[in-house]
Chain A
Amino acid sequence: MASAPPLSSDNADNADSARNANESGNGSNGDSGQRAGSTRRAPWHAFVPLWLMCAPAFLLFAALVLIPLAMTLVLTFYRFDPASGPIAAFQFGNYAEVLTSSYFHTIFLRTFGIAFVTTLLCVVIGTPEAYVLSRMRDPWRSLFLLVILAPLLVSVVVRAFGWSMLLNPNGLVNQAFALVGLGPYKLEYTTFAIVIALVHVMLPFMVIPVWTALQKLDPQTENAALSLMASPATTLRRIVLPQLTPGILSGSLMVFGLSASAFAIPGLLGGRRLKVAATAVYDEFLSSLNWPLGATIAVLLLIANLIVMLTYYRLLERRYARSMG
């Protein structure tokens, strides 16, 4: 019973090997079993090639983004016949129509104008907001962070109707104006209404990246600037703000991109006449049934958005890549 296991190489602990022999009736088996348990197996991902691991995400991306995008792109070359609908063709008539018509120029200018003003307001409001937020003590900080993120929890349609109720001729805002003997003003169905509602919706997308940049900021740099006789205002402008630029930059990109392609808010608060690119696409597809023209506007919006964002990114990112990483 107590015979030493013949294959056991590490019988330093004799009692242990004897117990193994006793339990399994075969010392070498028990010993090797113990050793296999103690050596860690290679992790599962060592056996699966990387490309296979990417496959689910790629399939999803292909099915939901690439293929529809390609189909839209193909559609832009089709010809539209009011009597029989889209006809398969390869021509640039739709592009020519959108690019030469002043009607579409106005829509695109309005779209990017709104996106630009929204982005600007989000920077102006969101940056100080994130800064103040980062300076708060904890019960308050969590509370206000929740308040800022709250818009994300409410459907965009509900929020748009909320603004509509506030801004309509008999709404709360005009009632307030009436109290001081002003108005009523036409606030609903204006670019003003669209911008206000968009800023409300987009603010979290600005606050969160700026907040993240603030987390990386060494608070001692502010003290360092003060010790070098910079005023608090100069410290903010010369030391804090530049360190937040990467956050502001990525926030702006998100806000601009989302605002330029926003659909629900311009649709509900801009009315049927104050069109932006996204609502124009919708109208072409569902009212005029001119799918090729709608697809063309959509593709041009995508291209314009890409150009604006990439240019912006290049211009600013290059300046900060070296110092801020």
Chain B
Amino acid sequence: MSFLTLTDVTKTFGDLHAVADVNLSVEKGEFVSLLGPSGCGKTTTLQMIAGFVETTRGRIVLDGRDITHTKPNQRGLGIVFQSYALFPHMSVAQNVAFGLEMRSIGKTERAERVREALALVRLDTLAHRFPRELSGGQRQRVALARAIVIAPPVLLLDEPMSNLDAKLREDMQFELRAIQRKIGTTTIMVTHDQSEALSISDRVVVMEAGRITQVDTPYRAYERPENHFVSQFIGKANMLPGKIVARDGDDIRIDLGHDLAETGNTAQLPMRERVVNIGDAVTLCIRPEKLRLCAAGAGRLSATVTSRFFLGSQWLYRVDSKLGEVLVCCQNEGTEPLPEGATVGVDWNSDAIRFVQREARHG
């Protein structure tokens, strides 16, 4: 039995299914991210775990104890709110101590644990400041310290980085991960930022319109997206129509049309697509960085560069080809990039293509 289990958890607001039949098992010590666009139900799911939103249906079991209908102030979970929700009339130390005070922990132990928690988030020197005297990043650390000082069974993070600027966010991501590793607290984070979810979680739960579409490790979610939505939402993707021409177990050979059949494109069947027939029209996904630009005439496809974008470590090219507009990502190797209008060849490895959907959907 997992540490935290959500079984058929559903929340309806009137006719609207905010969250529908969410099933999720989180192991002890795991860092799980709920990832999805706004309005996908990830925050509602977190609020149901926290107890601020009543579940319409389903069960939430924490460490063998059914907490579905437990009041939020009896669940004892640590929560970092999006707005941080620090108590503005209390100093940093008082903020952090509040949870311990509510648990009737003695003054000496309280002071000791507050000091430890603040040291963990590197704020020990600012214990006597008030929240309004702190920067955004510091406030976020206080919120984190306040949540972990009570040694909660589960730490819930509600878009914790969304109010930080890009550079600080990156630093905090690594720091958050390091702190979580150190204290080993089971953590569930809600985020709409796919790079954040990929970089710090053990598993990502991709949600769309109130439902879970894929639960996987970040690497697998990126490399083996289960459907069109996941492949588009996590990372960049070229979506191509194709046709299945042969099958050998889980390996299928696909035809991209345009005389590209003989180039030996293969893909692996995703778990949920067990039934495919030769001749089925499918949607395929190929990541921009799996494509290579080569000299005109070489490669599988010839194309023209229509525009290019400099991303620092990479160049992103938009090229026009028989397959339509395709994104190609190339490492910035310090050489002169290709000019717009250049004719190039595009090549890829036979196994770079992913099968994402059985029937091609437009848009």
Contacts from A to B (Cβ < 8 Å): 218, 220-221, 223-232, 234, 238-239, 242-243, 245, 320, 322-325
Contact = CB atoms under 8 A, between A and B. Distances in A.
A179 to B, nearest CB: 44
24 contacts: A220-B82, A221-B86, A223-B72, A223-B79, A223-B81, A224-B85, A224-B87, A225-B87, A226-B52, A227-B77, A227-B78, A227-B79, A228-B150, A229-B74, A229-B99, A229-B102, A229-B103, A229-B150, A230-B73, A242-B89, A243-B87, A243-B89, A320-B89, A322-B133
A231 B90 CA distance: 18
Contact count band on B: 20 to 34
A323 B90 contact: yes
B50 A220 contact: no
Given A224-B79, A229-B103, A218 B73 contact: no
Contacts of B75: 227
Contact of A230 (B82, B88, B102): B102
A229 B74 CA distance: 6
Given A225-B87, A226-B72, 20 more contacts: A220-B83, A221-B87, A223-B52, A223-B81, A227-B72, A227-B78, A228-B99, A228-B146, A229-B76, A229-B102, A229-B150, A230-B73, A230-B98, A242-B89, A323-B88, A323-B90, A323-B130, A323-B131, A324-B88, A325-B132
Nearest to A325: B132
A227 to B, nearest CB: 4
Contacts of B50: 223, 227
Contact of B89 (A227, A229, A232, A324): A324
A221 B74 CA distance: 17
Nearest to B78: A227
Nearest to A230: B102
A228 B74 CA distance: 9
A226 B87 CA distance: 12
Contacts, number: 76
Contacts of B78: 227
Interface string B233-255: 00000000000000000000000
B27 to A, nearest CB: 22
A26 to B, nearest CB: 45
Interface string B292-323: 00000000000000000000000000000000
Contacts of A243: 87-89
Given A234-B102, A243-B88, A323-B132, A224 B76 contact: no
Interface string B58-83: 00000000000001111111110111
B240 to A, nearest CB: 44
A239 to B, nearest CB: 6
Contact of B81 (A220, A231, A242, A322): A220
Contacts of B150: 228-229
A247 to B, nearest CB: 13
Contacts of A322: 130, 133
B48 to A, nearest CB: 13
A232 B85 contact: no
Contacts of B98: 225, 228, 230, 238
